[in-house]
Amino acid sequence: MDWGVSGYLDMAASTAGPNNPIPQFITATHSTNIGGSYGYGLVGARAGYILNKSLLYVKSGAVFTSTQTNFDFNLHNTPTELINGLNGHSSVNNTSVGFAIGGGIEQALPTEWFALAKHISVKAEYLYLGINTAKTSTGNINLLGLTSLGTLTTSDSISGIHTAKIGVNYKF
């Protein structure tokens, strides 16, 4: 069984836009970071079938990830100087709970290779992280330091992540 297994996951994406007819006046960025500096945690189990020195297994459990979504825009270089500096920011941070499912193979090394080989195995694993998160963030629209001229709302949806791992295990 694998209890409290974690991994490093730092996936980030950002999009500049929006697709507008006057891009010289508007700068906008939407970014999403999954995992951040904390990675992900998995509480689960694996069950398998031993064939000679190989273990074929399936793995399942609950996965915990952190997600941060930001949207920023700034109006600048406009013909009307009054609205230069109009900007907005919205952000949401959350921890998502989802499911993990996958499988793999673990192979013990032949003991005749070297003395410590009886303690070492290698593995390859596929895992799907179904984090299924959809978040909406709301922020302020600002002008010349004044806040709450309006609200800015953005939405972000993440369905899941495919992972593949290879590893070496040492059994004490």
pLDDT above 80: residue 23: no
Percent of residues, the chain, with pLDDT higher than 90:
20
| CA separation for the pair 105, 168 (Å, rounded) | 12
Whether the full predicted model's pTM is greater than 0.75, yes or no, is no
What was the pLDDT predicted at 104? 96
Segment of 16-20, 49-53, 69-73, 149-153 carrying the highest mean pLDDT: 49-53
Local confidence band at 8 (pLDDT 50, 70, 90 cut-offs) = low
Q: Which residues pair with 153 in a beta bridge?
A: 138
Which of the two residues, 156 and 95, has the higher pLDDT score? 95
Domain ranges for the chain:
5-170
By mean pLDDT, which of 22-26, 44-48, 91-95, 123-127 is the weakest?
A: 22-26
More confident residue, 109 or 91: 109
- State the pLDDT at residue 28: 72
User: Which 3 state secondary structure label does DSSP give 82?
Assistant: helix
Q: Residue 2 pLDDT > 60, yes or no?
A: no
Closest CA to 65 of 135, 155, 124: 135
**Residue, of 129 and 156, whose pLDDT is higher:** 129
What per-residue confidence (pLDDT) applies to 5?
58
Each residue's pLDDT tens digit, 42-85? 888 999 999 988 999 999 999 888 777 777 777 766 666 656 66
- The two tokens of residue 29 are 């960025």
